[in-house]
A and B are shown apart, each in its own frame.
Chain A
Amino acid sequence: MADLIQLKDSIVKGRLNDAVDLTRVALDEGTDPQLLITDYMITAMQEIGQKFQDKQAYVPELLMAARAMRGALNLVQPLLVGEKSVTIGKIVIGTVFGDLHDIGKHLVASMLEGCGFEVIDLGVNVSADAFVKAVKEHDADILALSALLTTTMNYMKTVIDAMDQNGLRPKVKIMVGGAPVNKLFADQIGADGYSANANEAVHCAKQLLNIQ
């Protein structure tokens, strides 16, 4: 029997190889893939997220966990094809036009994914048109925008205006972040949410969608 508590533990501790091995055994034994995700993997990410919040874990530990989770998820996901969507919400994320910084956005995207969201990452230097197209195409619940410089963060307003002009604003929540962004700026440009780090981004996203 695969030890599923140990699977959860190996994700919390960021042990990629253990997480992958245990997942493989569990799947070979016929464990329900959906159960693996919701009851063990996401729970593990919530646990490490809480530790981070309580200052008992640091960013790299969060990422080692997200990495182990990704490895395990890679085995499970192909088995879910065709099944009803199992995510708690769809998020389109990208770094705005004129900016090529990726790492902050990457961290946010993997935490969101680790905690049960489906994340569509459009990459860097993304135009307002591309955001509009992706939000429409994926019927996204949340649009998440990132920027690292004061010169590029203003483009977030352009993206929000474009959502408005295309009639998408009532349908999609918008959250923003990045080193120069703060709550005040987020309010000024009419975003719905802001957070200073990847873990809080998960709380922010859940709040925006009224998820516990």
Chain B
Amino acid sequence: MQMPDSGSEISIRYSDLELSRAELYSTLGYGTSEPQADALALINRLLAEADNICRPRAGIRILDGAVEGPRLRLSGNWFAPGGIISHFLKGCDVFSIILATVGLEMDEWIQSYRVSGDVMEAFVADGIGSVVAEAVVDKTKKVLAQRVAKEGCSITNSYSPGYCGWHVREQQALFALLPKDFCGVTLTDSSLMLPLKSVSSVIGIGRDVLSQPYRCDVCRKKDCFRRKDS
């Protein structure tokens, strides 16, 4: 079994990411329609800029732990991710914390469109940032899956503070388990990660674990605009 470690960054490039245009359009709220000429030109221009600017970063820490009822222990620290998430992590005694970010450069690029005043440009740049952040998470999960496969293990889905009854405030305790300035991400007192387009997650590792569908299937946020089953 994979030994606990103290956490390290993985090497990741923008060109490694699987970015889907369909995902971007759905994030931007284009239900079944597609962008018309003017909007498409704007989107293409910003995508090309993003390609030049983005320096994504991600890291993985593997630690021992356990699930007891609705509670999760990671190394010596206890968390309260709630019943839904605990259910999916049950049975694992090794876990991973992953941190994924689009990086400071892209956050600053988005910020530049926030202040420039063109609301559509700001919206598209922000949407690209969100899609890239998710793609960095996906890539990091693949790297982790490959790493543990060598030991005959597989991984669960990823679960983040702030989802499914896990209070976002527990980001503080989670970050206490990561090296200082890990991947260049910092946490504010209000539990906000900077760069803004960053994601933290916990993943279970084990011999018989399955990656169960997560977000839309078990989430109670019925009015979420990204909900897949509505």
Q: Which residues of A contact B (CB under 8 A)?
A: 14-16, 55, 58-61, 63-64, 66-67, 70, 97-103, 106-107, 110, 149-152, 196
Contact = CB atoms under 8 A, between A and B. Distances in A.
B110 to A, nearest CB: 9
B190 A98 contact: yes
A150 B119 contact: no
Given A14-B39, A60-B29, A107 B123 contact: yes
Nearest to A154: B190
Report the contact-size class of chain B (Cβ under 8 Å from the partner). 20 to 34
Contacts of A103: 114, 122-123, 126
A92 B168 CA distance: 28
Interface in B16-40: 28-31, 33, 35-36, 38-39
A15 B41 CA distance: 12
Contact of B28 (A16, A60, A67, A101): A60
Contact of B122 (A14, A106, A152): A106
B87 to A, nearest CB: 22
| Max count, chain B CB within 10 A of own CB: residue among A60, A102, A106 | A60
| Max count, chain A CB within 10 A of own CB: residue among B28, B38, B117 | B38
A173 B127 CA distance: 31
A110 B117 CA distance: 10
22 contacts: A14-B38, A58-B29, A59-B28, A60-B28, A60-B124, A61-B39, A64-B39, A70-B117, A70-B119, A98-B188, A98-B190, A100-B192, A100-B196, A102-B126, A103-B126, A106-B122, A106-B123, A107-B123, A151-B190, A151-B191, A151-B192, A196-B223
B167 interface: yes
Contacts of B122: 102-103, 106
B181 interface: no
Interface of B: 28-31, 33, 35-36, 38-39, 114, 117-120, 122-124, 126, 162, 167-169, 188-192, 194, 196, 223
A58 B31 CA distance: 7
Given A100-B196, A196-B223, A149 B191 contact: yes
B46 to A, nearest CB: 12
Given A67-B120, A103-B123, A107-B119, A150 B167 contact: yes
B119 A98 contact: no
Contact of A67 (B29, B35, B119, B162): B119
A67 B118 contact: yes
A60 B162 contact: no
